[in-house]
Amino acid sequence: MSDMTTHHGGAAASIAIRDNYLAMARRKQMYGGILLVIFIAMMASGFHLADSRNAGGFWNGISQVFEFPSEVLTEGAAKAANLPGLLAEFLPSLIETLNIAAVSTFIGAVFGTILALLSTRGLARWPRLIPLFRRMMDGMRAIPEIVIALVLIFILGGGPVPAMIAIAFHTTGALGKLFSEVAENADLKPVEGLSSVGASWIQKMWLGVIPQVAPNWLSYALLRFEINIRASAILGFVGSGGIGHDLRLAMQWGQGKYDQVVAIFILLFVTIVFFDQLSSHYRNRMVKGR
Amino acid sequence: MTSTDTAPLAASNLQLIVLKGFNRKQVTAFAVPAVILLYLTYVFFAFDIYGIAARARLDNAAILVSDFWSHKTHVTRDNRINEVTVAIEGENKGTYPEGMLPDWVTMVDGVTRIDLDKGHEVIFDADGARYMVPGYGVVDISPQAGKLSLVLPDGGVPDWINASDTRVAVTTEQGRFSYTRNRTEVFKYQAGWELFFFTLDSPFYGKSFVELVQLATIGERIDPARSNISAMADGFWTNAMWRHGDVAWALFETVLMAFLGTMGAAMIAFPLAFFAATNFTPSRPILFTLRRIFDFLRGVDGLIWTIILSRAFGPGPMTGALAILLTDTGTFGKTFSEALENIDAKQVEGVQSTGASRMQQARFGVIPQVTPVFLSQVLYYFESNTRSATVIGAIVGGGIGLLLTQAISTQKDWEEVSYYIILIVLMVMAMDTLSGWLRSRLIGRTGHP
């Protein structure tokens, strides 16, 4: 449209513009419609396929959705007296889950910082190696935590350490990418000032870049911590360590230990909501100004 | 003006404030690292890192690494019935059929010769077994009166031979050998993943790439009923050892879970987000209720949803998709409504000034503003859910996550584990690329949400 020049309001020109515009609008609408049809077809066929490959059907299951929760809740309510004791009993596992998340976020943030600075244009220590460090982070992000965790359980045995390493590995890649995006927008003037007084690369980064990006980086790290709590719980369930592991044991036992299941559900729910609120509160404060 | 009178006072006040600030900064500069260090020390003991280092099974790591790039073939002699079988990875489906042997094994008149390369050779016969180790000599084992008699070149037993009355085991860099009364066994390690393309019963087994191309294009039909190329594709797809067909289905199932879950959640959250945004909601109670529902969905977390849903729907991809859908409905509901609250009101006013109705205002004033944000979030979650679907698959019993956990829990098929790991990483990278491409096509280049 920009190549259209509107001269002194020639009627023919404006009609041409209008026709062109309408044609374009129709074409856009048609493309949108085609995309929508393809999308709906994909959703519908995907739904059917998933339904046919599932052990229990969707419509069959939807009527039973509340059976298990009500079963669990009934037993939990019947044994409500046990609940405070059970909550206290599972508290150490919960703390272990939180520790896994916290340490892996910390380790991931430290290594993510290094990788991010090494792969940011204008800041990198060895500019030629930027693509190498970027690919490294891509690779670290691509490997799902469960893969590393299960392999490490085979080598290191059970416990919290495999999950911690697995989450830290993934976090390094994920935070490295986000950190690098933030650092790209950092003002280079402090860095230049520091180079003019002969600062080393580490000094330039520590004194010139980190103070600028710290609020955004901390906010990403907090968000990651919240994600990692969930990851640590789920890895415990599949692998070992923390409250996820206890949950699996209680679930395997089945009926009779549903009061434990209820206690673990409550602990997990409260923790996740708490850290979710905490992290969004502090993120707002850090990014949008105090 | 009193400013001149209070100036010295203000200056000293300012100095005090600045000094206080410096002090506080100094304290934090030491306190923060100290607290972190303390915490890490606590975790060091809580996680028993020292004990882990002692308990680490480096032999398991060695098995893993060697299986990653090599496979082993078992040559086993059942000493009770004098029968020798050769099987890849010792599996039934990798057993060489009657009359077919790898070129390093020969069987003549009940004497089996196994060539382990570099001069290492093992011979099984009716008297027992001998292992020729170059530079050392012959390890000769024969059963005598219910015991094993072991004859070595010079009296002492080196540390790579483990011998007792009932069992002799020899480990060299060329392979492993063990002898018990019931069976004699040799493991030979070779590089590569054996039988990756065709199993032993396939007519295409052991053919070179050039031969295969010839067969596929101009060669005579091996099976007259169908072309060689379709027979090859079928042989590869239904390979009993690697189950490529099943694996491809599992990968597809994993992506399907992520797709259905993410898109379904976006479709549900999109209309609801309008009711949960302060500037669009028709009533505060609805807004409040919706927000609490979103918080609840997110707070219960994928793990618990997965467990609850797998009870109702049984194992399979639908369960995983629904678990992702529920969690992400909460996430999208929250982020979409936040995006709606942050829109630029001027565009809406502009549309309103032309006399547009409320629906038209939403369609032409709001949707164009929020679509890029929504799309980029949905694509980002689609990509990250592909990873989550691997874990969720391991719980609900669907997709590649299930295959991976099964292969790991048997603790022997490590080459399959490495195959799955490579495929998972490729799948995630492909999704990463796809979502990046879609993002740039649909909304132009923008950063992550």
At A4-15, the pLDDT tens digits run 454 555 788 889
Task: Tell me how close the Cα of A57 comes to any Cα of chain B, in angstroms.
Answer: 6
Which tops the pLDDT comparison, B221 or B164? Answer: B164
Average predicted confidence (pLDDT) for chain B = 82
Q: Is the pLDDT of residue B116 over 70?
A: yes
- For A41-97, the pLDDT digits (tens) are 988 898 888 888 887 777 777 878 888 888 888 888 888 888 888 888 889 999 999
Task: Tell me how close the Cα of A234 comes to any Cα of chain B, in angstroms.
Answer: 6
Angle at B13 between CA B8 and CA B16, to 5 degrees: 130
- For A85-138, the pLDDT digits (tens) are 888 888 999 999 999 999 999 999 999 999 999 998 888 888 899 999 998 998
A162 chain-B contacts, CB cut-off 8 A: none
3-state secondary structure of A51: helix
Q: Is the pLDDT of residue B280 over 90?
A: no
Sign of CA dihedral B136, B140, B141, B144: negative
Residue of B259, B303, B322, B367 best to disrupt the A interface, most CBs of A under 10 A = B303
Q: How many other C-beta atoms are found inside a 10 Å radius of the C-beta of residue B13? A: 11
Residue A168: pLDDT band with limits 50, 70, 90: very high
Which of B326, B334, B427 has its CA nearest to residue B377?
B334
- Residues B114 and B98: their CA atoms lie apart, in Å, by 17
DSSP A270: H
Fill in the amino acid letter for A90.
Answer: F
Sign of CA dihedral A6, A11, A15, A21: positive
Which tokens is B320 given? 């995983």
Q: SS3 helix, strand, coil % of chain A, rounded to 5?
A: 85, 0, 15
- Residues B40 and A107: their CA atoms lie apart, in Å, by 10
- For B324-368, the pLDDT digits (tens) are 999 999 999 999 998 888 888 888 888 889 988 888 888 888 888
Residues forming a β-bridge with B187: B74, B176
Can you give the pLDDT at residue B1? 46
Q: State the alpha helices, DSSP H only, in B47-158.
A: 49-55, 58-69
- For B373-411, the pLDDT digits (tens) are 888 889 889 988 998 899 898 888 888 888 888 888 877
- When CB atoms are compared, the residue of A143, A265, A269 closest to B425 is A143
- For B163-194, the pLDDT digits (tens) are 787 888 888 877 888 888 788 888 888 777 77
- When CB atoms are compared, the residue of B55, B295, B313 closest to A157 is B55
- Residues A63 and A46: their CA atoms lie apart, in Å, by 21
Helix B284-313 to helix A242-253 angle (10° resolution) is 60
Q: How many other C-beta atoms are found inside a 10 Å radius of the C-beta of residue A257? A: 17
Q: How many other C-beta atoms are found inside a 10 Å radius of the C-beta of residue A2? A: 4
- Residues B122 and B168: their CA atoms lie apart, in Å, by 14
With 0-12 / 13-18 / 19 or more C-beta atoms within 10 angstroms meaning exposed / middle / buried, residue B424 is buried
Residue B72: pLDDT band with limits 50, 70, 90: confident
Residues forming a β-bridge with B78: B83, B183
Q: Is the pLDDT of residue B441 over 70?
A: yes
Which tokens is B337 given? 């409504």
Can you give the pLDDT at residue B279? 82
Percentage, residues of chain A above pLDDT 90: 26
* CA atoms lying within 13 Å on the CB side of residue B313: 28
- For chain B, positions 261-320, list CB contacts with chain A under 8 A: 263-264, 267, 295, 298-304, 307-309, 311-319
Can you give the pLDDT at residue A196? 92
Which tokens is B213 given? 């191309």
- When CB atoms are compared, the residue of A154, A230, A235 closest to B60 is A154
3-state secondary structure of B144: strand
Can you give the pLDDT at residue A116? 93
Which tops the pLDDT comparison, B63 or A218? Answer: A218
- When CB atoms are compared, the residue of A103, A154, A181 closest to B408 is A154
